[in-house]
Structure 1
Amino acid sequence: MTLKSSQPARRTMAGLLLASTVLLSPAAAFAQAAPEDEAAGGDIIVTAQKRSESIQRVPISLQALGTETLAQHQVTGLDDYSKLLPSVSFQTYGPSQSDISIRGVSTGGINLPGGSLPTVGVYLDEIPVSTIGAMLDVHAYDLARVEALSGPQGTLYGASSLAGTIRLITNKPKQGVFEGGYDLTLNKFGEGEAGGVAEAFLNVPLSEKTALRVVGFYRRDGGYIDNTPGTRTFTLSDGDPTTNLTVNNAAEVKKNFNTLETYGGRVALGIDLDDNWTMTPTIIAQHQKAKGSFGFDPRVGDLQVHEYAPDRNLDKWYQAALTIEGKIGNFDLLYSGGYLERSIDNDQDYSYYTVYYDTLDTFYTNFPDGNGGFLDPSMRYHNEQRLTKQSHEIRLSSDQSNPFSFTAGLFIQRQSNKNLADYTIPGFGSIPSTFAVFGDDIFVTDTRIIARDYAAFGEAYYKITDDLKLTGGIRVFRARNSLKGFSGFASNAAASGCAVPITLGSCVNVDKTYKESGETHKVSLSWQVDRDRMVYATYSTGFRPGGNNRRPGINPYDADTLDNFELGWKTAWLDRKLRFNGSAYYMRWKKLQYTLAPVGSAGVVNIYNSGDARIYGAEFDVQYRTGGLTLSATGTFTDAKLSTPFCSINAAGNSDCTLGTVAAPKGARLTVQPKFKGTGTVRYDFDLGGRDSFVQGSVLRQGGVKNFLATADDLAVGRTTGFTTFDFSAGTKFGEISVEAFIQNAFDKRGILSRNTFCPATICGTVARSYPVKPQLFGMKVSQRF
């Protein structure tokens, strides 16, 4: 958010923003409109460093997607905008079940509830919304831009910005302006179901100094994956073929069963308290329900699976936020505070875990029902999370016209996660001599995590000369993480002195606290060669707090840190028709955190510090505009490997570097980020009979990825291969109404973003699911602005 200097300037900038967002290059990150004298020169004013300055003078690698760019690529959520940001990659189980990474800072797998914090900080406007286990999948409508900051951003953005930061910036209420619009989309997957999106916004001036902005949306995605008939036979681990039990999935068979429904809205009030102060309270809410599996099993067939239990994910959340900004003398002051409440209810087929254990001589599948038969041992997974997140930040910025200028502030955050994870066998709790720990649960986790963060931060620059600027920053922090509750089998409950079956909340076998404090810093030297060309060198660090493991006897995991050395350039040529920006970097990642299920742990995972890594890479974005033709391309090259071995896990379940074997050797490739990811777009805007019209084509090229760090997991699941997809669109305007036709993944290439398992990879690797890019999708969109 741009700090306010005067009311007329703020209104001018808001108006120019709408006009400046057409086909912004990814280099045009944090694109806010400039005052008229700067806009004419082509500069873009950004707030990447929480102060207003030209994009071409910010010594950070930035990418952004403006309002028009998001619309031109039919962006509605994470999977859409991430493919336009080459430095960003993600692994997923489906909508609202994804982890993102930047520049290859990832160890693979999905962070489970109670696991590590994410490596990428996510902000909704000024408020951090990062959560453990799944990124908040915000519906992308009426956004000013999506911003991606590559590299550690811990100085200004805190603990979870180890690898970078994603910011989703909404359009704010506008004073004295009545405007609105709607967008209606109908679409259909090539061989799947039809769907559609209805979206609208309205900006209403309520008085001379007050304006209201209201946004609403409804989205339904049709399915494209089929749950086809299948059977399996359990041997029941008793060596007696006469007791073999055959089950089928007839009750769950359905064509195109992975549907998605999302609806919600936003209400924001803009209040000018006087000429120097504004206040913006906002409430955002979203309800998302996904059914079925969004990954398919290549062994079964293309876009097909065999699921034996319902798959469902219900994600509901709301956020209340308040921003107050103004001036005290020559200083800009901003306060931002937010409260997020999120509820996740997830059901998954966990029966392939049972299939694996049926091949072993264990107790996991032999359950006499007391009537001469045996219980179907197919396991299911149910998870309920209740998350809250409260944060407050206050910061002060000095006059940027001075040779020395600074931004300084204080930050406090408290977040909680009440997590109930049931691993159930229907009817298990009612059989004779059951050893259910709770209800039908063979294993249960009932824990509560409370994490508190406190920080003081500052960043300043000094103009050594008119063209040479030195920037430095530091963040001092303190973190406290507590984990309390129960996790285990009935035997673990009995060992803790609890009556079995347990009563939820009454049995405690985990009660741990982790504390740490420290600092992170950066320094950057930039040289403005001339108005159109700047080069910079930056050294920055990042951190991610450590935490506790839920299993008794397992050591806590330490914080991991990142050192980033970066050289970058931001240039414009040919009278600013050509823009070419880029950077090259080397990063050292120390004590990286990794989630692993050791052999013999019955699939229960722990988090380990799995050694150090080094990452080399380069990013670029280029755009050329002449007349109605715009050519743009972005790309990232990444080479990420372990620089030390990932030590073995001993019999006690802890990492032990004295053993002879290793979980992953030095030189092992890191996960999730392909070695190359790039996009290119050609767009031509022209007049067709007096109507503004366009045609556009885009291409995405992405290399294959490694999905798991540990060698055994990697071999069990396998890697993805590279792919290329093409999108096309064309449209025209009839007065205020725009009509557009589009096709995504035009040639229906089955690009695989990741391969994942819902139970530990060494157990379920042979039935790993492939999570594809969207199949071929046809659509028609009608829009109006008034």
Structure 2
Amino acid sequence: MLKQGLSRVASLMAGGALLAGPYVAAAQEIDGHYGEIIVTAQRQEQKLQDVPVSVTAFSSEQLRDGNVETVQDIAARTPGLSVSAVDPINTNFAMRGIGSAPGISQNAGGDPSVVVFVDGVYAGRGGTPDLDALDLERVEVLRGPQGTLFGKNAIGGLVQFISRKPSDDPSFAFEATLGNYDKFGASARGNMPITDKIFISTGLAVKRRNGYEFNETTGNDVNNQQLITGRVALRLLPTDTLDIILRADVSDQDQKGNPRHNNCDTSFNGGVHCIGINPDPRVVNAYTDGKIKRTVQSYSAEISLDLPFGTLTSLTALRKVDLEFETAFFSNPVNPPNQIESTDFGQEDNSQFSQELRLSFEAFNGRLTGQTGLYYLKEDNERVQGQIQQFPSPAISGVGRYPQSVNARSIAVFGQLDFEVVPSLTFTAGGRMTWERKSGRFAGFKVDDGPGIPPPLGSAAGYDVTGKEDWKAFTPRVALNWKTTDDILLYASAARGYKSGGFQGLSGTAAGASAPYDPEFAWGYELGAKTEWFDRALRLNVSLFQTDYSDLQISQLVPLCCVVVSNAAKARIRGAEAEFVIRPVRGLQIDGSYAYLDAKFTEYAIPGQNYTGNELPRSPKNKFNIGGHYEVPIGDLSAKLRVDYSWVDDAFFEASNIPQQLWPSHDNLDARLSIAGANNEWELAIWGKNLTDELVPTYVTYFGPFRQILTPYAPPRTYGMTLAFKI
């Protein structure tokens, strides 16, 4: 597959110097098309090449030209980042081998290892936002432990979505998209001044699409999309030193579910449990289509006050998520007496309130800069998850219900100082002290009068218990960076990451439900260089890193029972990453990245199994992408071509590394061709994604007792056209 992929890229380049990869960290083309990207990777505005950390940034123009719609698109263009998904809204990130399994990140008492922020607000639950409606200014991906400056500790890294601030520049943009699978999308965004001190911006996006799969049992398309998102932001500038931004956004999603395709082993038990299963991976045989209903609301107030010695920033936010789901993850056609059905269902009501107060300052004529602050997060999560099991044997059939109610609190004090020791040599020291508490009530019981499911839910009693635990952690960071010339930055850093402990959401016993699992810790070490050559015609950024990881929170599926989480492992992660941008002539940019990852368990043994030496889940050894952007004027018009190719090595979805849970190597080819009017007041684009129609699993569950592999898949080949206007 790799050889075929390289052949495709070579033919494209030979056809006309087309490529220009993931807009990784491209600062600007030789003709200044994109301009310098300013990022806030260290909670202050800096040029991308001046930030001594591993960060990949995408500007709004790059997102548009690359037809980037989802976090999976971002992952394909970012070294070290993998994104899997158990369903269309519950994405699971892994950064340089560090990530949370679905059994941890989706229960009421678990936290993600890679954290998402939207305009500085922690988005712990409810999935990722819709990129179209946010009116994004940029997306930033920070790799490695981020234990000092960001509101909720991110042991693996973080993804930031930053929207455009309302301004005094009136504008309006409208975009409509049509594509295969009856895809329809429309978005409108506007910005206008109300007075010379008050500005408002609004956005609305609608997306509809038929399903990528067909359910033979019900006769319906499944894994469709039906989403509407709206937002409004109000900015007030009462004085020259005071800046107030009020934001609100609401997203509503109501669509069919994503039943698993059943790769049934017909050699087992004469294939009796495989009768009627369609081998076509885009056809499922579930007794129900399932459903996904989600409403996400976010409200925030960001207030910045310039003081004689610095800037004081307050960020207050309220975020609410309501989720209802039903997923047929283990199904065959209804065919008594051999019917086999296993279904997840449930709902979640999550609310979080956060308050951050941050002071940035400088002294000694700018030689000393820094910031310090306080952070508070309160999260209440009510979740009910259930399992329906219908098997030929009554002893293992029935319906179980697992209510979970968790209250979490996190308080932190943090700070970081940058001191210029001598001109161009800067020493950084920072730290964060975090205190966290989680308490909850957890239950498991049978909800029907049938034969029941395995102990303890086989009896009507079940369990109903409570649990509470406190944790605290200090996460320091030290770094040294040397600006040897205007075009070369060298840096070295060591940082500690931390992820909170939690409680089992789907425990098989009362003792397991009430007993917490412990936090994770990681020390990350990195050497890096950010360089530009030949009058900025070549940009090359490289990094070497190692992460020592302890007390990993590992989830294991126990068939016919539950998911068990334990701190069972240690790991060592080593790797290297390189990103490049080449601008050989005006209008042409070629760029890309390569990542090498060696992520192994150094200690992982559970009763009956020893996984020491296995690869960490979702940790491909090799990953690269390459692409290109070419723009040429045609009279008063402008034509652009963008092509992106990526390839990802084999990996595993689970720590056991068994072949049934392999994430096979796969590639992806996207392209977009557009023509725009003078001053870009209109644009017409045709585009295609996954043009080679690669079949890529987004997650794999192996059900050992019946030797069946249950798999949802990424989208097939899609294509369409987009018309956009702006004034």
Is 2:463 the partner of 1:484?
A: no
Secondary structure of the residue aligned to 2:64 is helix
C-alpha distance 665-211 of structure 1, shift in aligned 2 (>3 A): same
Instruction: Please name the residue that 2:713 is paired with.
Output: 771
Secondary structure of the residue aligned to 2:620 is coil
Aligned mate of 1:222, from 203, 210, 218: 210
Q: For the residues of structure 1 that align with 2:73 and 2:416, how far apart are their CA atoms?
A: 33
Cα distance, 1:284 vs structure 2: 0.5
Decide which moves more: 537-546 or 377-386: 377-386
8 Å CA contact 2:99–2:114 kept in 1: the answer is: no
Instruction: Please name the residue that 1:75 is paired with.
Output: 68
Instruction: Please name the residue that 1:26 is paired with.
Output: 24
Q: For the residues of structure 1 that align with 2:340 and 2:489, how far apart are their CA atoms?
A: 64
Q: For the residues of structure 2 that align with 1:324 and 1:641, how far apart are their CA atoms?
A: 44
Aligned mate of 2:502, from 547, 551, 558: 547
C-alpha distance 585-210 of structure 1, shift in aligned 2 (>3 A): same
Q: For the residues of structure 1 that align with 2:100 and 2:166, how far apart are their CA atoms?
A: 41
Task: Give 1:687's aligned amino acid.
Answer: P
Instruction: Please name the residue that 1:232 is paired with.
Output: none
TM-score normalised by the chain length of structure 1: 0.80
8 Å CA contact 1:130–1:136 kept in 2: the answer is: no
C-alpha distance 461-194 of structure 1, shift in aligned 2 (>3 A): same
Instruction: Please name the residue that 2:174 is paired with.
Output: 182
Cα distance, 1:756 vs structure 2: 2.1
C-alpha distance 380-754 of structure 1, shift in aligned 2 (>3 A): closer
Q: For the residues of structure 2 that align with 1:337 and 1:424, how far apart are their CA atoms?
A: 41
Q: For the residues of structure 2 that align with 1:103 and 1:497, how far apart are their CA atoms?
A: 38
Matching of residues 223-262 of structure 1 within 5 Å = 223-228=211-216, 249=217, 252-254=218-220, 256-262=221-227
8 Å CA contact 1:435–1:442 kept in 2: the answer is: no
C-alpha distance 598-42 of structure 1, shift in aligned 2 (>3 A): closer
Cα distance, 1:43 vs structure 2: 5.7
Cα distance, 1:222 vs structure 2: 2.5
Is 2:548 the partner of 1:588?
A: yes
Secondary structure of the residue aligned to 1:597 is strand
Decide which moves more: 78-87 or 341-350: 78-87
Instruction: Please name the residue that 1:627 is paired with.
Output: 586
Decide which moves more: 376-385 or 564-573: 376-385
Is 2:293 the partner of 1:329?
A: no
Q: For the residues of structure 1 that align with 2:299 and 2:653, how far apart are their CA atoms?
A: 36
Cα distance, 1:289 vs structure 2: 2.4
Give ranges in structure 1 of 5+ residues lacking alignment: 1-21, 32-38, 229-248, 359-364, 366-373, 427-433, 649-660
Instruction: Please name the residue that 1:406 is paired with.
Output: 370
Cα distance, 1:547 vs structure 2: 1.9
Instruction: Please name the residue that 2:516 is paired with.
Output: 556
Q: For the residues of structure 2 that align with 1:24 and 1:680, how far apart are their CA atoms?
A: 7
Aligned mate of 2:670, from 727, 730, 733: 727
Q: For the residues of structure 2 that align with 1:497 and 1:76, how far apart are their CA atoms?
A: 44
Alignment deviations for residues 624-666 of structure 1 (CA, whole Å, 9 cap, x no partner):
1230111111222111110112332xxxxxxxxxxxx43x421
C-alpha distance 753-380 of structure 1, shift in aligned 2 (>3 A): closer
Instruction: Please name the residue that 1:744 is paired with.
Output: 689
C-alpha distance 295-533 of structure 1, shift in aligned 2 (>3 A): farther
Task: Give 1:392's aligned amino acid.
Answer: Q
Is 2:404 the partner of 1:447?
A: yes
Task: Give 2:641's aligned amino acid.
Answer: V
Q: For the residues of structure 1 that align with 2:55 and 2:329, how far apart are their CA atoms?
A: 41
Instruction: Please name the residue that 2:536 is paired with.
Output: 576
Instruction: Please name the residue that 2:17 is paired with.
Output: none
Secondary structure of the residue aligned to 2:112 is coil
Alignment deviations for residues 761-784 of structure 1 (CA, whole Å, 9 cap, x no partner):
445761321423x21111111111
Secondary structure of the residue aligned to 2:107 is coil
Q: For the residues of structure 1 that align with 2:88 and 2:176, how far apart are their CA atoms?
A: 22
Secondary structure of the residue aligned to 2:212 is coil
Matching of residues 677-688 of structure 1 within 5 Å = 677-688=623-634
Cα distance, 1:64 vs structure 2: 1.1
Instruction: Please name the residue that 1:242 is paired with.
Output: none
Cα distance, 1:698 vs structure 2: 1.3
Q: For the residues of structure 1 that align with 2:704 and 2:353, how far apart are their CA atoms?
A: 38
C-alpha distance 397-282 of structure 1, shift in aligned 2 (>3 A): same
8 Å CA contact 1:178–1:204 kept in 2: the answer is: yes
Instruction: Please name the residue that 1:154 is paired with.
Output: 147
Greater share of strand: 2
Alignment deviations for residues 410-439 of structure 1 (CA, whole Å, 9 cap, x no partner):
00001121011222479xxxxxxx999xxx
Aligned mate of 1:697, from 632, 643, 647: 643
Cα distance, 1:353 vs structure 2: 10
Matching of residues 90-129 of structure 1 within 5 Å = 90-106=83-99, 108-111=101-104, 112-129=106-123
Secondary structure of the residue aligned to 1:156 is coil
Q: For the residues of structure 2 that align with 1:282 and 1:623, how far apart are their CA atoms?
A: 35
Instruction: Please name the residue that 1:653 is paired with.
Output: none
Q: For the residues of structure 2 that align with 1:345 and 1:144, how far apart are their CA atoms?
A: 31
Q: For the residues of structure 1 that align with 2:179 and 2:322, how far apart are their CA atoms?
A: 29
TM-score normalised by the chain length of structure 2: 0.87
8 Å CA contact 2:333–2:339 kept in 1: the answer is: no
C-alpha distance 351-633 of structure 1, shift in aligned 2 (>3 A): closer
Task: Give 1:453's aligned amino acid.
Answer: S
Is 2:279 the partner of 1:287?
A: no
8 Å CA contact 1:393–1:411 kept in 2: the answer is: yes
Secondary structure of the residue aligned to 1:272 is strand
Instruction: Please name the residue that 1:14 is paired with.
Output: none
Greater RCO, CA 8 A, separation 6+: 2
Decide which moves more: 103-112 or 456-465: 103-112
Give ranges in structure 2 of 5+ residues lacking alignment: 1-19, 265-278
Q: For the residues of structure 1 that align with 2:26 and 2:498, how far apart are their CA atoms?
A: 27
Is 2:572 the partner of 1:614?
A: yes
Instruction: Please name the residue that 1:391 is paired with.
Output: 354
Is 2:519 the partner of 1:519?
A: no
Q: For the residues of structure 2 that align with 1:217 and 1:417, how far apart are their CA atoms?
A: 28
Task: Give 2:173's aligned amino acid.
Answer: G
- % same residue: 22
